[in-house]
Amino acid sequence: MKKPSILVVGCMNTDYTVYGTPRVARFGETLFCEGYAYTPGGKGANQAVAAAKLGADCTMAGRLGDDANGLTLIKNLERYGVDTLDIVIDQELQTGMATILVDRQTGNYVCYLVMGANNHLFPGQVELAISRKSYDMVLMQLEMPLETVYSTYELATARGIPVFLDAGPAMDIPLERLRGIFVISPNEVETKALTGIDPCSSKNAISAAKRLFERVHPKYVLLKLGARGALLFDGETPELIPCFSEVSAIDTTAAGDTFGAAFAVQYCLGANMRSAIRYAHAAAGLCVSRRGAQASIPGAAEVDVFLTAIDNT
């Protein structure tokens, strides 16, 4: 079977991750934590690695600084088979950096992001990337200039390419230029930022999905609701698709990125929406069960083994 061809447009960072934080510190306070690591990250790079590991022919379009961190990120993407021809190395800028604090009890995280070169990923660079190949889907996030987000959607739409927007990090943005997008997929915090509704209950989640649909008129709204699963809404019928209780969260970093990439790969391979979401739940579940960003993302064989075991119980 031919590999799906996916273009990821977005952010690449070096992640400095601190593990075992007891809570978020107050100003002037010192807390003792358990460990740290420097790893490749960024929502865009995470999506690209996930797409490649899960079976896609993946291209990354983004911008890095001319520094050691940028070189490491390029080499890491190439190690996973990601096409890096559309990554620009900018001699005037720093590579992006994210400081991530992972909670000791829950595995949830907070992130402090320095955008660096990511803030200079402009539409002209995306136009060149999107014209270079034939793509089955474009994945993007909000970790880049807003005009680039809009232009990426418009450039893809002009070529008949569906776009999946992982609507993070959390922010309230004008959505008019994204009307008709294939999928818009925020998590709980991002959903509240976009709609003003906290999707903490089933009723609220449905209300938020309906409000987001009214604003964007996508083909699908897909709310990521953490341990509750994902809410799919097509403008008519909301459906909660549960995730797997068989996994225990250690570190939720890159889980949403893995979910979106896994969904995209499966959908492009011909899976229906619900099957693609179930597969994405499995991939994200395996991701949160271990530490790290890209290192925690499973390969296709791992996801298949996990789903087979679930189906046979």
**C-alpha distances in angstroms, 62 versus 56, 126, 146, 166, 211?**
18, 8, 14, 16, 31
257 counts as catalytic: yes
CA distance 168 to 142: 5
Beta bridge partners of 59: 7, 83
Residue 292: pLDDT over 80: no
Confidence (pLDDT) at 280: 97
Q: Which of these ranges, 158-162, 182-186, 295-299, has the smallest mean pLDDT? A: 295-299
Confidence (pLDDT) at 250: 84
Confidence (pLDDT) at 115: 96
CA distance 277 to 243: 9
Confidence (pLDDT) at 134: 96
How many other CB atoms are found less than 10 A from the CB of residue 309? Answer: 10
Confidence (pLDDT) at 44: 96
**C-alpha distances in angstroms, 128 versus 61, 95, 155?**
9, 21, 10
CA distance 6 to 90: 24
Provide the Cα torsion 190, 43, 88, 79; round to 10°: -170
CA distance 290 to 287: 6
Q: Whole domain around residue 218: which residue ranges? A: 5-311
Please give the average per-residue pLDDT across 4-8, as a whole number.
98
> What pTM did the predictor assign?
0.92
The answer to whether 294 and 40 are in contact (CB under 8 A) is: yes
Q: Express each pLDDT in 162-214 by its tens digit.
A: 999 999 999 999 999 999 999 999 999 999 999 999 999 999 999 999 999 99
Q: Which residues contact 204 (CB under 8 A, 6 or more apart)?
A: 197, 198
Q: Which residues contact 13 (CB under 8 A, 6 or more apart)?
A: 40, 41, 42, 45, 73, 95, 96, 97, 98, 113, 114, 116, 118
**Averaged pLDDT score across all residues of the chain:** 95
Confidence (pLDDT) at 252: 78
Of 165 and 102, the one with more pLDDT: 165
Confidence of residue 251 (pLDDT cuts 50, 70, 90): confident
Closest CA to 10 of 230, 174, 198, 167: 167
Confidence of residue 291 (pLDDT cuts 50, 70, 90): confident
Residue 1: pLDDT over 80: no
- 86, 90, 257, 304: the catalytic one is 257
Q: Express each pLDDT in 221-240 by its tens digit.
A: 999 999 899 999 999 999 99
Q: Provide the CATH number for the domain around residue 195.
A: 3.40.1190.20
SS3 45: helix
Please give the average per-residue pLDDT across 27-44, as a whole number.
94
Handedness of CA 184, 145, 196, 13 (dihedral sign): positive
Q: Which residues contact 194 (CB under 8 A, 6 or more apart)?
A: 167, 172, 173, 175, 186, 212, 215
Confidence of residue 146 (pLDDT cuts 50, 70, 90): very high
Confidence (pLDDT) at 240: 97
Residue position matching structure tokens 């990125």: 257
Residue 111: pLDDT over 90: no
Residue 53: pLDDT over 90: yes
Residue 242: pLDDT over 90: yes
Per the structure, the count of domains in the chain is: 1
Residue 20: pLDDT over 90: yes
CA distance 25 to 13: 23
SS3 250: coil
